[in-house]
Structure 1
């Protein structure tokens, strides 16, 4: 189990603020891709950069969610410990992928663990920072929340499709027995 104190110290360290000159990288973050350069410069004030070592956890299943992560460098594995003790690999993520976006909307618990397979660099956007930003920059905030809603909606549609296919497969299997 990891200690939460060093993680927070690293994230909030001023030197881990994203370089304002790296606006192109911000424009590649899906929830920010529709923003103009000047808008991205404002958003850069609430984006943090964090580095993780190989085998270090980004977060663990059951932890409260407070931030979204975007992979800049490295590889992250998403895994779930099942009730029977089996660990299931749900996904392997690389540069440009993002995770934890639901944490920008609420503080529900993480539903899986995220472990760095290699040395990894991520950009972190915290829910509290985002909502404080929205109070100051409403128009930009609406753009961000609209894009976030679109992304979550797309993921929900994809999940529903998978669940429907699974249900159909189970019905066919049941009828075949």
Structure 2
């Protein structure tokens, strides 16, 4: 990771394409730029480590990020990816809790980093902008929650289907399998 210098104007222009800041004036976006830093992370580099205290809010300007959680035996389990315009670390804005996932680069990525303290001070100082930004954050959190619920439901469906298939393989298929010597009429009824 290394710090990257963009002129305030270049960075403000790049924020115009990010949905989180689309509703802000150029002056407001410039205020956010002044309190932020830009870092370039090489491919495979960790931006946030699960369990660490990021104390910042992050916005992906370019590149690709991979989101991972530690599995039962400590291995990294992929849970998603982020493309330009995505933001992360928003949980740290609401809670003083460690990062609930790791984020690393899938390819070289440019990330805008806003320290939590400065970001919250800005939102308190500029309540209209704060409302726009926080509304975007909440809507994104709702989307993430819905996606997580859908993934959990799909996993449950797969497990139930696998259980039924396993049960089907364990049980006999016809009445004649259960009752040897049953008539052919009786044996035509399949259990499944």
TM-score (norm 2): 0.73
In the TM superposition, structure 1's runs of 4+ consecutive aligned residues that sit over 6 Å from their partners are none
Structure 1 match to 2:142 = 153
Higher relative contact order (CA 8 A, sep 6+): 1
Closer, same or farther in 2 for the Cα pair 1:175/1:104, shift >3 Å? same
| Structure 2 segments unaligned to the other structure (5+ residues) | 168-192
Q: Aligned to 1:108, what secondary structure does the other structure show?
A: coil
| Alpha carbons 1:65, 1:106 under 8 Å: kept | no
Q: Which sections of structure 1, spanning at least 5 residues, go unmatched? A: 1-6
The equivalent of 1:101 in structure 2 is: 90
Task: Provide the secondary structure at the position in 2 that maps to 1:89.
Answer: strand
User: What's the counterpart of residue 3 of structure 1?
Assistant: none
Find 1:76's aligned residue among 65, 76, 92. 65
Do residues 163 (structure 1) and 152 (structure 2) align? yes
How many residue pairs match? The answer is: 165
3-state SS in 1 of match to 2:97: coil
Deviations 1:36-71 (A, max 9, x none): 222222222222211223333111111123222222
Q: Residues 113 and 75 (structure 1 numbering): CA distance in 2 closer, same or farther, change over 3 Å?
A: same
Aligned position for 1:19: 7
* Number of the residue aligned with 1:86: 75
Contact 1:32 1:40 in 2 (8 A): yes
